[in-house]
Amino acid sequence: MPDIPGPVLVIIPTYNEAANVETIVSRVRSSVPDAHILVADDNSPDGTGKIADEIAATDDHVHVLHRKGKEGLGAAYLAGFRWGIDHGYEVLVEMDADGSHRPEELPRLLDALTDADLVMGSRWVPGGSVVNWPKSREFLSRGGSLYSRLLLGVPMRDVTGGYRAFRRRTLEGIGVQQVASQGYCFQVDLAWRTVKAGFRVVEVPITFVEREHGDSKMSRAIVVEALWRVTAWGVGSRLGRLLPGGRRRV
């Protein structure tokens, strides 16, 4: 494992990922053997949590957090962050359960963390790419990142991406437990908070592979929420800088 401080926890939120959870855990264990894994399951009716329990029973590097029901990606990650911090992990990683975030690329993210506070796997920097995406999905992702970057003044090119490695001190420094956003804009919120707090962010190119099994959790409601929240944040930030006593830092 790269020379980074303290133990690593890979947080994998799940909801109806019975077809994927065993494979993704196995790939993470092979790619970064020293890392621990937390499967944060939202009481999946397809038995994902039970499968995760069976894996954890034979592997002390795998843990399962059973949540009461489907509350969204943001809530699952927040619960995972809290669990990881409480259990003394110094690096916390976000990873999708469906294989779209390739575990084989995780060592590169962790290596970049030696000189960063947050490392983001990026589809839209040179060397990054997507596989098996329709043009409409690519347009939505690129457009969402561009809109967020311009409105919020953040430098990252893939602001909405969800393959990330945080230092513990970064999450604590941005007040992660005060985050209320969900879905698509949850990742934008964390990135913006990290930049505003003055932490160093590095983007590492990744290849994002569309899931082969199960259904995508993306919906129109998630996109609408993201658009509304990012607009409100951007307008509020600009008004704050114009009003007396408003901060100029973004």
pLDDT of residue 215 exceeding 70: no
Picking from 15, 73, 8, 14, the residue whose alpha carbon sits closest to that of residue 37 is 8
Q: How far apart are CA 15 and CA 47, in angstroms?
A: 9
Higher-pLDDT residue of 149, 33? 33
Q: Could you list the beta-strand ranges (E) of the chain.
A: 8-14, 36-41, 62-66, 91-94, 118-122, 129-131, 164-167, 201-205, 207-209
Contact 35, 1 (CB under 8 A): yes
Question: Tokens 């160093």 map to which residue?
Answer: 200
Averaged pLDDT for residues 82-107 = 97
Instruction: Report pLDDT for 182.
Output: 73
Instruction: Report pLDDT for 222.
Output: 59
pLDDT of residue 239 exceeding 90: no
For 53-70, b/e burial (b = at least 16 CB within 10 A) is eebbeeeebbbbbebeee
Q: How many CA atoms lie within 13 A of 70 on its CB side?
A: 10
Contact 56, 62 (CB under 8 A): yes
Question: Among 42-51, 170-179, 217-226, which stretch is predicted with the lowest mean pLDDT?
Answer: 217-226
Residue 2: how many other CB atoms lie within 10 Å: 15
Q: If you ran DSSP here, which 8-state letter would residue 112 be given?
A: H
Q: If you ran DSSP here, which 8-state letter would residue 123 be given?
A: S
pLDDT of residue 109 exceeding 50: yes
Contact 98, 214 (CB under 8 A): yes
Q: Exposed, middle or buried by CB within 10 Å (0-12, 13-18, 19+), for 71?
A: middle
Domain boundaries of the chain, sorted by first residue: 8-242
Averaged pLDDT for residues 22-41 = 98
Instruction: Quote the percentage of the chain above a pLDDT of 70.
Output: 82
Which CATH fold topology does 8-242 show?
A: Spore Coat Polysaccharide Biosynthesis Protein SpsA; Chain A (3.90.550)
pLDDT tens for residues 125-183? 999 999 988 887 787 777 788 887 888 888 999 998 999 999 999 999 999 988 877 76
